[in-house]
Structure 1
Amino acid sequence: MKKKLLTVLICIAMVATFATGCSSTTTPEKPAAETPTVKAVEKTKVFVSADWVKGVIDGKQPESKDYVIIEAAWGQVSEDKAYTEAHIPGAIHLNTDEIEEEKKWDIRTGAEITQVMKNYGITKDTNVIVYGADSGAARVAFVCIWAGVENVKVLDGGLNAWKKAGYPTKDGIETAQATAKDFGVTIPAHPDYVLATDEVKDKLAKDKNFRLVSIRSLDEFTGKKSGYSYIKRAGEPKGAVWGHDETDYLNEDGTFINFDKAVAMWADQGITKDNEIAFYCGTGWRATIPWLMAYENGWKNIKLYDDGWFVWQMDEKNPVQAITPEEASANYKK
């Protein structure tokens, strides 16, 4: 009995010795707090953190298999000092002229956008991450979703958030890698996300549940100024309500406000989730911000009036208003 007990004790001691030896040669894991967030997010999740983007770049999540990072801005890359002096490593500059028509600034045709996607190595399955210094990033993100890209993200806070997180930047120009792959669906995959002027006029006249929501400054909405050097007329399409300017959707650090705050702003103007909503601005940039926020939060009743004030005011027969937000929303509030 004692011999058997002694044998058991020896075995236990040997196991403990081996366990101790193994643990002493194993490199400790990096504390979780120091590791960028690598958790995959839902495809309809739009706004992501710098840590999440870094996790993609470092290959620590499924989205790392096929991704493209875009810094969106108007103008040629060679003239964009902000990009050439400092951008996220691997980020490709996209001139917004590539996705918009020259005369009306509407989204280009499906065939044209198909070629843009090929040029930038994007298919419907590519994880597209966009950032920029203004609402051009939201504009590009919207066009990608409209086209049919299933996983589109916007870096919340832009390059400043990236730098604030302590991540490195790169200078110079990075070249897009075109793809020979088929996009995967016919572009646009979601033509219903966009309304044209005739459709908006028809809905304003016949649909009491429709809300045409201006994402422009208060001075633009009330007709004190046009807001654009190339747009002479001031005012708004008759029947529009105010959804606040893009600056009201931003926190002081450049990140986007909580969606609940946006919903409260809209409710104050008689705009709710039960309405069919078409956001617009002058030429389609600012309006994509609230669209993306609503899309991310599961709202299904949202559109973009892509023609915007620019096209509306071109036809003098289109009715125009220059009133306060309170006056505009009076007919819609219960």
Structure 2
Amino acid sequence: MAGHSELITTAELAEILTRPDLRLFDCTTYLEPAPAGSNVPYIVVSGRQTFEAGHIPGANFLDLQAEFSEARTELRFMMPPTAQLEAAFGRHGISAGSRVVLYSIGTAMWATRFWWMLRSLGFEGAAVLDGGIDKWTAEGRDIETGLAGGYPPATFPARPKDGMFVDKHDVLAATTEGDTVIVNALGPQFYKGLEPSRYGRRGRIPGSVSVPAATLIDPKAKTFVPLEEAEATFAAQGITRDKRVVAYCGGGISATIDLFQLHRLGYDNLTLYDGSMGEWAKDAELPIETG
């Protein structure tokens, strides 16, 4: 079972590091606990400091919250207007002919979030580094330190695709649609509502199934699990190619790991609930279930 070219290995990346059209980015963000009594679920911290402490040679840095998220909402990481994204990706040197490789530290979800965003804008030349910088360093490959060098500015031509993102109204309607599967990418304790949620009410969107993003990643190697294993995981939850998939998590980030694997498996009717539980759990008019 062969996947699409959106996944690149460390060995393959090492071979193309000097390609002039390569645009290599560390996408890391950190979520730190919010102070007691705070009305936000977490504090967003840029990964720029760890990027400067060590990154793959030639890489630059993408700051998700600072440059690539909607600022006019209390929800974190929401997709901003297309014009903002065109300008931001252009500033970082991405053009229609660029070969983009994305990675992050510790978890692939920040890289897959950018992959999903780029794909939603009609850009098909992005890949996620399998294992990220964790695997790169474990193999003893070169690391450089210091500030991002920057790529020459370019024109990024966005061609937004319909249906890549849905809002709470679409998701509520989908809870009664037999041809749609709503997938929760959070851990089982949050899916079942067994532990307090930093997003508000405990539980899940009614009728959603559980495919934790963490089960799609090898915890030691940080690489994606084999496609055969991922296929079985999705199938066990009733996810089939004849159904639309709506994925969600806490803030629209880890769910992109599920979407990435589904895309590699050849599923093509995929969408992301961008507000996720950060929005749903706080809206008392929206139904929620536990257990």
| TM > 0.5 fold call | yes
Pick from 206, 216, 240: which aligns with 2:208?
Answer: 240
Change (3 A) 1:321 1:77: closer
Does the alignment pair 1:150 with 2:124? yes
Higher share in helix: 1
Determine the structure 1 residue equivalent to 2:217. 250
For structure 1, list consecutive stretches of 5 or more residues without a partner in the other structure.
1-41, 59-63, 324-334
Mapped partners of 1:131, 1:154: distance in 2: 6
Mapped partners of 1:271, 1:176: distance in 2: 41
Report if aligned partners of 1:51, 1:165 keep a CA contact under 8 Å in 2: no
Secondary structure of residue in 1 paired with 2:163 = helix
Mapped partners of 1:157, 1:210: distance in 2: 31
Mapped partners of 2:234, 2:264: distance in 1: 16
Pairing 1:218-229 to 2, within 5 Å after superposition: 218-228=188-198
Mapped partners of 1:178, 1:199: distance in 2: 40
Change (3 A) 1:242 1:94: same
Give the letter aligned to residue 166 of structure 1.
G
Shift of 1:289: 0.5
Secondary structure of residue in 2 paired with 1:294 = helix
Mapped partners of 2:95, 2:21: distance in 1: 9
Mapped partners of 1:314, 1:124: distance in 2: 39
Secondary structure of residue in 2 paired with 1:317 = coil
Shift of 1:65: 4.0
For structure 2, list consecutive stretches of 5 or more residues without a partner in the other structure.
30-44
Change (3 A) 1:254 1:306: same
Give the letter aligned to residue 247 of structure 1.
A
Determine the structure 2 residue equivalent to 1:104. 75
Determine the structure 2 residue equivalent to 1:200. 171
Mapped partners of 1:119, 1:172: distance in 2: 20
Give the letter aligned to residue 182 of structure 2.
L
Does the alignment pair 1:123 with 2:95? yes
Pick from 263, 269, 272: which aligns with 1:304?
Answer: 272
Secondary structure of residue in 1 paired with 2:282 = coil
Determine the structure 1 residue equivalent to 2:40. none
Report if aligned partners of 1:214, 1:280 keep a CA contact under 8 Å in 2: yes
Determine the structure 2 residue equivalent to 1:317. 285
Determine the structure 1 residue equivalent to 2:41. none
Does the alignment pair 1:212 with 2:182? yes
Determine the structure 2 residue equivalent to 1:87. 55
Instruction: Give every structure 1 segment of 4 or more consecutive aligned residues whose post-TM-superposition deviation is greater than 3 Å.
Output: 75-78
Percent of matched pairs sharing the same residue: 22
Higher relative contact order (CA 8 A, sep 6+): 2
Report if aligned partners of 2:3, 2:265 keep a CA contact under 8 Å in 1: no
Mapped partners of 1:306, 1:217: distance in 2: 18
Secondary structure of residue in 2 paired with 1:100 = coil
Mapped partners of 1:124, 1:321: distance in 2: 44
Mean Cα deviation higher: 103-112 or 282-291: 103-112
Determine the structure 1 residue equivalent to 2:25. 70
Pairing 1:273-284 to 2, within 5 Å after superposition: 273-284=241-252
After superposition, the C-alpha distances for 1:169-190 in whole angstroms (9 at most, x for unaligned) are 1001113235243x2344xx22
Determine the structure 2 residue equivalent to 1:49. 9
Give the letter aligned to residue 214 of structure 1.
N
Pick from 107, 113, 116: which aligns with 2:85?
Answer: 113
Report if aligned partners of 2:165, 2:273 keep a CA contact under 8 Å in 1: yes
After superposition, the C-alpha distances for 1:179-228 in whole angstroms (9 at most, x for unaligned) are 243x2344xx22321111111112222x2011110000111001123443
Pairing 1:263-274 to 2, within 5 Å after superposition: 263-274=231-242
Cα RMSD after superposing both structures: 1.9
Shift of 1:264: 1.2
Report if aligned partners of 1:223, 1:234 keep a CA contact under 8 Å in 2: yes
Mapped partners of 1:56, 1:179: distance in 2: 21
Report if aligned partners of 2:250, 2:276 keep a CA contact under 8 Å in 1: yes
- How many residues are treated as equivalent by the alignment? 268
After superposition, the C-alpha distances for 1:80-130 in whole angstroms (9 at most, x for unaligned) are 2x2112100111111110222342121112111111111111123311100
Give the letter aligned to residue 191 of structure 1.
D
Report if aligned partners of 1:124, 1:149 keep a CA contact under 8 Å in 2: yes
Mapped partners of 1:119, 1:259: distance in 2: 35
Based on CA coordinates, which of the two structures has the bigger radius of gyration? 1
